[in-house]
Chain A
Amino acid sequence: GPAVVFDLSGSFQTHNLETAPNETTECSKDELWNMFELMYTMRRMEITCDNEYKARNIRGFCHLYDGQEAVATGILQALDEKDSYITSYRCHCIALARGGSVKQVVAELFGFEDGMTKGKGGSMHFYNKKHNFYGGQGIVGAQVPVGAGLAFANKYNTPPGERMPVAIGCYGDGAANQGQIWEAANMASLWKLPMIFCIENNQYGMGTSIDRHSSHSDYYKMGNHIPGVRIDGMNVLAVREGMRFVKDYCASGQGPMYVEMMTYRYHGHSMSDPGTTYRNREEIAFTRSTRDPLEFVKKCLVDAEFATPDELKEAEKRIRKDVQQQVMEAKESAKPSMDSLFEDIFAKDLVSRSGSEFPPHIRMPDYAKSFWIDGKPE
């Protein structure tokens, strides 16, 4: 069917730029449906994780992305799989969208063999090299210089003057004042790397609100001379259109750009955080009722006559069932073998999952149970 033009006025603010993202965007029925379905799958997956965590089927850390779905979804629509993506520990939904499945994500959280990293990584460690997804990194901010390195490799591997694949490094407002981020930005700007510094501003660094952890709040201006765009991160169409503009700028060799996505996380920082001691329930409820990214995309579908409310209800039912089904399948998976403990310490080559090189000796808590490469102690 024909594409419809959507109004995006008021969705963008720019810094150090002579041009700006388009304030309208064309979107077809298929495209919008795809975005809705992905976002709703993300939402259901994260809510399921919440329940499974409370049922004690998930251990350790678990950081949920509900509320922020439009950010990753819009970015992924604007970039393609030649572009590299690296993010923080709040990574389930990007793992899903970059070549993963609900089953693989949830099985990983259960610590099972069918998990995306075979039970080795857990919530903060998802990767998919084939799909140019590099984590899933657990140390706040550390993924940003690494992301600049992905951009460096893209430039290194592209003949001069040609358009480059870009790299995006996502981080939160809590990480945004880290020194290493500026170190990376300085080099990215100096060397004109196709790097997108993407701040997902969900208003809180753990439980500390921006006005208490940052001396300024215009994150899209944090690159100083580096241009920046602030985008309504609850509007998936604005994210997509804004990121097309950003990608175009970075890929053409003009250097990096800062992006600030204005978004919100419904859950607490992690599962141990009820998320209500440093903000109030009214604030969360107000955001849900006025800015929810899923309600927004549903409204767009209906307004454009791409869907009826009944069709949406039907789709939601189908997706809920599918997520449920995949979680059941994940539960069927086996625990990782004890042998896998000794695997993947060293690579034997650069081919993904081609088997490891074993160290000669791996000491176990009980020395007698250690691993020896030739099967016996020296």
Chain B
Amino acid sequence: TQVAVREAINAAIDEEMERDESVFILGEEVAQYQGAYKVTKGLYEKYGDKRVIDTPITEMGFTGLAIGAAYKDLRPIVEFMTMNFSMQAMDQVINSAAKQYYMSAGDLACPIVFRGPNGFSAGTAAQHSQCFGAWYSSVPGLKVVSPYSSEDAKGLMKAAIRDPNPVVVLEHELMYGVSFPMSEEAMSKDFVIPIGQAKIEIAGSDVTLISFSKTVGLCLEAAEALKGEGISAEVINLRSLRPLDRKTIIASAKKTGRVVCVEQGWPQCGICSEIAAILMETDAFNYLDAPMERVTGADVPMPYAVDLENASLPQVEDVLAAVRRTTYRKLAA
């Protein structure tokens, strides 16, 4: 069955709301408008205004409110129209949600989901095009997941809702409309993807491409092109940014000896930087045949004009160039 990412997320929320009365969703335009990106379509009709709640455009307030509800064992899903706006609520997410269980020595859990489209869209310019993967994944007490495919989206969303901890789900606007095949298993109501486990999308032997969210697609495209050059690429879809699946990353690096990491976020202190640190600090370092390469968003606020925007984001050619350097294929050039 082909299912769009949007429908997969919608199904996950719907199934979990049906399964557990304590689950509710709130955010801007999630109810009558059906969601700014239609992710919550049909939920208001099905569950009514007690459990599908339109909020004022006041992120700090409704995020704090949802966290308070979670302290009392409700399971709120907070939709940020885009993750950019979660910055207004970041104190609540980090200080009131992420740290609460630790500060209370295990007295007060905070079972809550913060979700919304993350990263860049198309032509939305600087204030609406930012990846929060590095920001949120640096915080102890948070779990952070970022789906690529429809299966990811459904399985990770269900895991996030069932988790007794605060989980940030970083979706991607440009993936909502993309359809993927979904297995029989993934269509079932019990399909949950464990948080903290990466997925090897394709196995390979010459180079490891590591990414999350939309750019997993870029890596798969690159892997396909590399086949023609006789390079066998392994593609790792991280799925979770915190906890990071260090085991899978390290094992693959040891196997291929060459790593290229790809993300749309800014380079400094990014997810790729963290992976570089893992490779430096562990036994994997001894297996590397070349320095790891990063392919990241440009170190600039996102510009509006299409050519400038394209130049600011990783393209297939960028991934291919990095792989070729890493595998010495273009060393002479």
Enumerate chain A interface residues (CB-CB to B < 8 A). 84, 86, 117-121, 125, 127-129, 134-135, 137-139, 142-154, 156-157, 167, 179-180, 182-184, 186-187, 190, 340, 343-350, 352-357, 359-362, 367, 377-378
Contacts and interface: CB of A to CB of B under 8 A. Distances in A.
B332 interface: no
Nearest to B68: A149
A347 B164 contact: yes
A346 B70 contact: no
Given A145-B60, A355-B106, A156 B91 contact: no
A377 B246 CA distance: 10
A232 B68 CA distance: 29
Contacts of A344: 101-102, 104-106
A117 B109 contact: no
B104 A127 contact: yes
B230 interface: no
Contacts of B71: 129, 134, 146, 149-150, 153
Given A117-B107, A125-B103, A129-B107, A146 B91 contact: no
28 contacts: A117-B105, A117-B107, A120-B104, A128-B107, A129-B107, A142-B64, A146-B96, A148-B61, A149-B71, A151-B68, A154-B72, A182-B61, A186-B58, A186-B61, A187-B56, A343-B106, A344-B101, A345-B101, A346-B101, A346-B141, A347-B111, A349-B109, A350-B73, A352-B109, A360-B246, A362-B140, A378-B246, A378-B283
B13 interface: no
A271 B141 CA distance: 30
A183 B165 contact: no
A117 B105 CA distance: 5
B69 A352 contact: no
B105 A353 contact: yes
Interface residues of B, number: 49
Contacts of B247: 360, 378
Contact of A139 (B91, B104, B111): B91
Contacts of B70: 149
B92 interface: yes
B140 A345 contact: yes
Interface string B104-120: 11111111000000000
B50 interface: yes
Contact of A187 (B50, B62, B73, B282): B62
B84 interface: no
Given A145-B64, A356-B106, 9 more contacts: A117-B107, A125-B104, A146-B68, A148-B65, A149-B69, A152-B69, A180-B61, A347-B109, A348-B164
B103 A149 contact: no
Contacts of A135: 104, 108
Nearest to B164: A347
A167 B50 CA distance: 19
Contact of A352 (B95, B107, B250): B107
B102 A360 contact: no
| Closest 3 pairs between A and B when the two form their complex, measured CB to CB | A149-B68, A183-B61, A145-B64
A306 to B, nearest CB: 37
Nearest to A349: B164
Contacts of A143: 96
B66 interface: yes
- Which of B24, B62, B105, B141 is the most central at the interface, judged by chain A CB atoms within 10 Å of its CB? B105
Given A117-B103, A139-B95, A347-B109, A360 B243 contact: yes
A29 to B, nearest CB: 36
A356 B101 CA distance: 9
Contacts of B65: 145-146, 148-149, 152, 184, 187
B33 to A, nearest CB: 17
B143 A346 contact: yes
B320 interface: no
A145 B95 contact: no
A345 B102 contact: yes
Interface in B267-303: 281-283
- Which of B61, B165, B250 is the most central at the interface, judged by chain A CB atoms within 10 Å of its CB? B61
A180 B243 contact: no
B43 interface: no
Given A146-B71, A150-B72, A367-B281, A156 B108 contact: no
